[in-house]
Amino acid sequence: MRQTVALIATGYLVDLVHGAASQAYTWKNVVTGGGGGFTPGIVFNPSAQGVAYARTDIGGAYRLNSDDTWTPLMDWANNSNWHDWGIDAIATDPIDTDRVYVAVGMYTNDWDPNDGSILRSTDQGDTWAETKLPFKVGGNMPGRGVGERLAVDPNDNSILYFGARSGHGLWKSTDYGETWSNVTAFTWTGTYIQDASSTYTSDPVGIAWVTFDSTSGSSGSATPRIFVGVVDTGESVFVSEDAGETWAWVSGEPMYGFLPHKGILSPSEHTLYISYANGAGPYDGTNGTVHKYNITSGVWTDISPTSLADTYYGYGGLAVDLQVPGTIMVAALNCWWPDELIFRSLDSGATWSPIWAWNGYPSIDYYYTYDISNAPWLQDDTSTDQFPVRVGWMVEALAIDPFDSNHWLYGTGETIYGSHDLLKWDTSHNVTVQSLAVGIEEMAVLGLITPPGGPALLSAVGDDCGFYHTSLTTAPSQYFHTPTYSSTNGIDYAGNKPANIVRSGSSDTDPTLALSSNFGSTWYADYAATSSTPTGQVAYSADADTILLSTSSGVLRSQNSATLATVASLPASAIIASDKANNTFFYAASGATFYLSTDTAATFTATTTLGASTTVNALRAHPSAAGDIWASTDTGLFHSTDSGNSFTQIGSGCTEGWSFGFGKPASDDAYPVLFGFFTIDGVTGLYKTEDEGVNWQMISDSSYGFGAASANIVNGDLATYGRVFVGTNGRGIFYGDASGTVPSATATATATAAASSTVKVGSSSSTASSSSTVGSSTSTAGVTTSKSTTLSTTTKGTSSSATTSTTTGSTATGTSTAYGQCGGSGYTGPTACPSGYTCTYENAFYSQCEYAT
Ligand SMILES: *[C@@H]1O[C@H](CO)[C@@H](O)[C@H](O)[C@H]1NC(C)=O
Ligand SMILES: *[C@@H]1O[C@H](CO)[C@@H](O)[C@H](O)[C@H]1NC(C)=O
Ligand SMILES: *[C@@H]1O[C@H](CO)[C@@H](O)[C@H](O)[C@H]1NC(C)=O
Ligand SMILES: *[C@@H]1O[C@H](CO)[C@@H](O)[C@H](O)[C@H]1NC(C)=O
Ligand SMILES: *[C@@H]1O[C@H](CO)[C@@H](O)[C@H](O)[C@H]1NC(C)=O
Ligand SMILES: *[C@@H]1O[C@H](CO)[C@@H](O)[C@H](O)[C@H]1NC(C)=O
């Protein structure tokens, strides 16, 4: 039988010659077990035991399971709704405890073109309905750890409030989040901006939190008393006594110019606890207080664990034990040195005990037992740090289980910690700090390779260096080290000697290139680079003698570990690749121009342009055939079998492509399987082709969308047929395995034949293997405003400038102070140190001026 039929109305065609081509894909995370990114919020439902959620800034929301693991709730996000992975607030309904709400959107500046949304779920996040807001929401903006700025009325759960950013004020819903209107009586929109120097930091953080006084009302009626905290250096805590009709400043609020990060009610004490910091976070803040407000008496009391004169941190995470009135905890937002501080009080803040304390410098009493068995890589086992950072940093999320005084969780810039023995803090003063982020995979992935004969996978990762994955199902014991990089920006292997690996990453102290000759198991610094050599994509020659490094300040080359030298014939930031079989061939592209080197990257010559393309997005060489090179561009996919002297465009239906890679074919003599993100017949997703682009199958689906196509890293597995790796920007690494009949290899294996055939697309939706039914509805519920209410449906991916959650570099001039901060992701202050002091790297977020002995 040989015929072509239209399968569904939307123009998908399945060629029945290859009718068995649709294989079912099963998707799982490559396990790192430790999160790997910032968790700005954790909320427990106060009425249903065990119901809790965590929100991330770039990787969606998660639900807690009874075995301490987490279930991701937003893996459906795809190229058209990638920004739904930015969660600026989350609210769990105290009455109908299956209801949960999130405010989503990634950036309020132009990195994200879309307005934000409120997503609502009635099944604890398994499925969601959406209402588009008439303004942006910034899940990955400054101040993303304040909150929660979304809240459900505990006496009438049809009522919700949402505090917006960017001057858009307070919003209210009276129909379970379906429609929203502006609370015009609330006129304080929050004027604080973090830093006027960039669009990213100069947008007002807006409203910080909404806290209902549940005790002021009765079940079934709107709660009369509502507190709202606003990110403002002036008056910043406001109250309504009439269910939101009128509002006033809470008089007596301390006026230090600090920003209220959290406002947590202790109902039985009739007290509101507030943490203040002089920065919006999550990186900044050097001063602050903790205050409580007695709602009955109207009296404010400073209960700060550290006196104003002595503090060098602001306060973030704040928790009350609902079972034990007067038991409260607070975290320094960032105590960068020597380690984060968390405090606990059993007497409503009159006295505090810390999680560690100096016992005569440099001796420290550690009042905790550290347990990272779930993610051993969280500490570098070769570290010689005098003061290892274990408690964390960026602690905005801190919560005590309302049903279990022993159970606490807190979020850091890197993982979630907590334990089930919190009461030991009060008895033996030795609580467990245990990594409890299993199931949360939040990394922003920058490179993935599977060198033949090597481990299951090697990953290059933003903020967490990268990993040698001996197994896809167990957490790595270490990140790459010696040298350790905060982010590894590029990784490649030598095609003929695949145990030889090169990586490029950022470091304040070590050369930014590292080499391995045992598949990345151990490494040594390549002194071809210094610590100030810029980092970027790398390409390793097939015989492992030459490294090509593409950076925004030029393309650099080193042969036999000689000092890097600029390759004058290539523009900065060129896309690069090495031939995997012929040591002399390197490839590059910039704009629409393709370049070839036949002298081991010493010189490049422009050979051709790629059709009507204006941008080449990725180059990949065939894993074993010399001169066989592919390019994805803004107009499609191109293939050359003559080292890039000429290219043929693949199929007319493929109109754009991003990251792609090759995997093991079904039979050894077949062409490798090509996997990648493409737009084919107008549909952007993850595709595979087993016949060089004649037939395609979309293998992303309605349950697994992988977020922004342009931000992802794709590679096939050269060891396992059908397996593909997808590195996301905030949801870690996925691997997909195929089941079902192997497509028959009837395509003519030449690019010319491929190019002349019509692209045929098999939709995988009918064969998706997932058992989950997650997916957002496309409800167009109205917003009661004259502004746009339409659902945005056609967005392209993120730009690379928005890649990770922590990419801002300091542009400040001037000199920091002795032992002051001088660097770190997100830091915007001076980077020079006073005479006699050296700026010393402590971690990805903090470098300090230390005395040079
Ligand atoms: C909402 O109300 C506030 C306060 O009246 C106002 O400043 C803001 O512009 C309003 N936002 C929108 C989107 O209408
Ligand atoms: C709050 O103030 C009232 C009135 O002065 C007092 O009776 C009550 O004990 C105070 N609450 C707390 C928790 O201190
Ligand atoms: C913190 O701020 C207060 C109030 O402005 C000030 O008095 C104090 O000196 C500051 N602390 C430090 C360490 O700068
Ligand atoms: C708490 O326990 C850990 C490990 O059991 C130990 O290293 C630490 O010294 C203890 N802290 C105190 C203050 O006893
Ligand atoms: C690599 O390609 C060059 C140019 O075509 C050729 O001269 C050389 O023999 C090739 N090397 C190998 C090892 O095949
Ligand atoms: C992307 O996700 C949305 C919402 O789940 C869905 O409606 C749409 O069909 C998906 N697009 C693709 C190409 O899968």
Number of domains in the chain: 2
pLDDT at 651: 83
**Ligand 5: centre distance to CA 500 (Å):** 21
pLDDT at 282: 97
Q: Alpha-carbon distance 167 to 47, whole Å?
A: 33
Considering Cα of 378, then 383, then 388, then 394, what sign does the dihedral take? Answer: negative
pLDDT of 785 above 60: no
pLDDT at 817: 72
Q: What angle do CA 568, 570, 571 make, to 5 degrees?
A: 105
764 lines ligand 6 (CB under 6 A): no
Atom of ligand 2 lying closest to residue 325 CA: 13
Atom of ligand 5 lying closest to residue 598 CA: 4
Summarize the confidence of residues 787-795 as an average pLDDT. 26
306 lines ligand 3 (CB under 6 A): no
707 lines ligand 6 (CB under 6 A): no
pLDDT of 218 above 90: yes
Spell out where 321-449 has E strands: 328-332, 342-345, 353-354, 356-358, 364-366, 368-371, 397-400, 408-411, 416-419, 431-435, 445-449
**Ligand 6: centre distance to CA 845 (Å):** 36
pLDDT at 407: 98
pLDDT at 769: 29
Percentages (nearest 5) of helix, strand, coil residues in the chain: 5, 35, 60
Q: What is the pLDDT of residues 353-364, one digit of tens each?
A: 999 999 999 999
pLDDT at 812: 56
Ligand nearest to the CA of 285: 3
Q: Of 587, 617, 632, which residue constitutes the final position of a domain?
A: 632
Residue 540 lies in a domain: yes
Residue 187 lies in a domain: no
Distance linking the first and last C-alpha atoms of the chain:
81
pLDDT of 1 above 50: no
278 lines ligand 3 (CB under 6 A): no
Summarize the confidence of residues 372-395 as an average pLDDT. 94
Q: Of 632, 655, 675, which residue constitutes the final position of a domain?
A: 632
Summarize the confidence of residues 82-86 as an average pLDDT. 97
683 lines ligand 6 (CB under 6 A): yes
Summarize the confidence of residues 658-685 as an average pLDDT. 97
80 lines ligand 6 (CB under 6 A): yes
Atom 7 in ligand 4: residue holding the nearest Cα: 369
Atom of ligand 1 lying closest to residue 134 CA: 13
Q: Other CB atoms closer than 10 Å to residue 111's CB: what's the count?
A: 18
Comparing 484-493, 606-615, 717-726, 806-815, which segment has the lowest mean pLDDT?
806-815
- The dihedrals phi and psi of 578, each to the nearest 5 degrees, come to -110, 150
Is it true that the peptide bond before 154 is cis, omega within 30 degrees of 0?
no
pLDDT at 845: 60
Residue 815 lies in a domain: no
- The first and second tokens of residue 689, run together, are 């082709």
pLDDT at 590: 97
pLDDT of 756 above 50: no
284 is catalytic: no
Ligand nearest to the CA of 367: 4
Atom 11 in ligand 4: residue holding the nearest Cα: 367
Ligand 5 proximal residues by C-beta, below 6 Å: 582, 584, 598, 626
302 is catalytic: no
Where residue 401 falls among pLDDT bands split at 50, 70, 90? very high
pLDDT at 22: 85
Report which residue type is found at 454: G
User: Residue 525 is part of which domain span?
Assistant: 480-632
Ligand 4 proximal residues by C-beta, below 6 Å: 365-367, 369, 430
% of the chain at pLDDT higher than 70: 87
> What dihedral do alpha carbons 812, 816, 821, 823 form, nearest 10°?
40
Where residue 832 falls among pLDDT bands split at 50, 70, 90? confident
Atom of ligand 3 lying closest to residue 312 CA: 13
pLDDT at 853: 46
pLDDT at 791: 25
Ligand nearest to the CA of 311: 3
Q: Which residue has the higher pLDDT, 382 or 570?
A: 570
pLDDT of 406 above 50: yes
pLDDT of 777 above 60: no
pLDDT at 383: 83
Atom 2 in ligand 6: residue holding the nearest Cα: 78
Where residue 827 falls among pLDDT bands split at 50, 70, 90? low
- The first and second tokens of residue 71, run together, are 């279930």
Closest CA to 130 of 84, 162, 71, 98: 84
pLDDT at 826: 61
Q: Alpha-carbon distance 727 to 804, whole Å?
A: 13
**Ligand 3: centre distance to CA 195 (Å):** 20
Where residue 613 falls among pLDDT bands split at 50, 70, 90? very high
Contact status, residue 332 vs residue 341, Cβ threshold 8 Å: yes
Where residue 851 falls among pLDDT bands split at 50, 70, 90? low
pLDDT of 786 above 60: no
Comparing 7-21, 222-236, 533-547, which segment has the lowest mean pLDDT?
7-21
Atom of ligand 4 lying closest to residue 428 CA: 14
Atom of ligand 2 lying closest to residue 295 CA: 1
pLDDT of 758 above 50: no
**Ligand 6: centre distance to CA 741 (Å):** 26
Atom of ligand 6 lying closest to residue 778 CA: 7
269 lines ligand 2 (CB under 6 A): yes
Q: What is the pLDDT of residues 510-549, one digit of tens each?
A: 999 999 999 999 999 999 999 999 999 999 999 999 999 9
304 lines ligand 3 (CB under 6 A): no
Atom 3 in ligand 2: residue holding the nearest Cα: 297
Q: Of 603, 632, 661, which residue constitutes the final position of a domain?
A: 632
The catalytically annotated residue of 463, 464, 510, 526 is 463
271 lines ligand 2 (CB under 6 A): yes
Where residue 843 falls among pLDDT bands split at 50, 70, 90? low
Residue 74 lies in a domain: no
Where residue 763 falls among pLDDT bands split at 50, 70, 90? very low
Atom 11 in ligand 1: residue holding the nearest Cα: 168
**Ligand 6: centre distance to CA 138 (Å):** 22
Closest CA to 774 of 81, 21, 10: 81
Residue 590 lies in a domain: yes
The catalytically annotated residue of 15, 57, 203, 321 is 57
pLDDT of 799 above 70: no
**Ligand 6: centre distance to CA 5 (Å):** 24
Q: What is the pLDDT of residues 262-316, one digit of tens each?
A: 999 999 999 999 999 999 999 999 999 999 999 999 999 999 999 999 999 999 9
Residue with tokens 């034949």: 753
- The dihedrals phi and psi of 793, each to the nearest 5 degrees, come to -125, -10
Q: What is the pLDDT of residues 311-366, one digit of tens each?
A: 999 999 999 999 999 999 999 999 999 999 999 999 999 999 999 999 999 999 99
Comparing 571-575, 587-591, 806-810, which segment has the lowest mean pLDDT?
806-810
Summarize the confidence of residues 200-221 as an average pLDDT. 98
**Ligand 4: centre distance to CA 782 (Å):** 56
Atom 12 in ligand 5: residue holding the nearest Cα: 582
Atom of ligand 5 lying closest to residue 582 CA: 1
**Ligand 4: centre distance to CA 367 (Å):** 6
712 lines ligand 3 (CB under 6 A): no
Contact status, residue 218 vs residue 159, Cβ threshold 8 Å: no
Atom of ligand 1 lying closest to residue 135 CA: 13
pLDDT at 704: 98
pLDDT at 782: 33
Contact status, residue 437 vs residue 34, Cβ threshold 8 Å: yes
pLDDT at 841: 65
% of the chain at pLDDT higher than 90: 83
Residue 812 lies in a domain: no
pLDDT at 743: 83
**Ligand 2: centre distance to CA 296 (Å):** 6
Ligand nearest to the CA of 230: 1
**Ligand 6: centre distance to CA 835 (Å):** 57
Q: What is the pLDDT of residues 694-734, one digit of tens each?
A: 999 999 999 999 999 999 999 999 999 999 999 999 999 99
pLDDT at 815: 78
Q: What angle do CA 314, 195, 842 make, to 5 degrees?
A: 55
Q: What is the pLDDT of residues 96-124, one digit of tens each?
A: 999 999 999 999 999 999 999 999 999 99
**Ligand 1: centre distance to CA 120 (Å):** 23
pLDDT at 788: 26
Q: What is the pLDDT of residues 28-64, one digit of tens each?
A: 999 999 999 999 999 999 999 999 999 999 999 999 9
Is it true that the peptide bond before 455 is cis, omega within 30 degrees of 0?
no
- What average pLDDT does the chain have? 89
Report which residue type is found at 261: H
Q: Which residues of 62-90 are buried (b: 16+ CB within 10 A; e: fewer)?
A: bbbeeebbbbbbbbbbbbbbbbbbbbbbb
165 lines ligand 1 (CB under 6 A): no
Q: Other CB atoms closer than 10 Å to residue 782's CB: what's the count?
A: 12
Residue 68 lies in a domain: no
**Ligand 3: centre distance to CA 780 (Å):** 49
Residue 832 lies in a domain: yes
Ligand nearest to the CA of 267: 2
Where residue 834 falls among pLDDT bands split at 50, 70, 90? confident
Q: What is the DSSP letter of 404?
A: -
Where residue 830 falls among pLDDT bands split at 50, 70, 90? confident
Instruction: Report the residue among 353, 359, 366 best suited for mutation to probe ligand 4: largest number of ligand atoms under 8 A from its CB.
Output: 366
- The CATH number that applies at residue 582 is 2.130.10.10
Where residue 759 falls among pLDDT bands split at 50, 70, 90? very low
Q: What is the pLDDT of residues 409-466, one digit of tens each?
A: 999 999 999 999 999 999 999 999 999 999 999 999 999 999 999 999 999 999 999 9
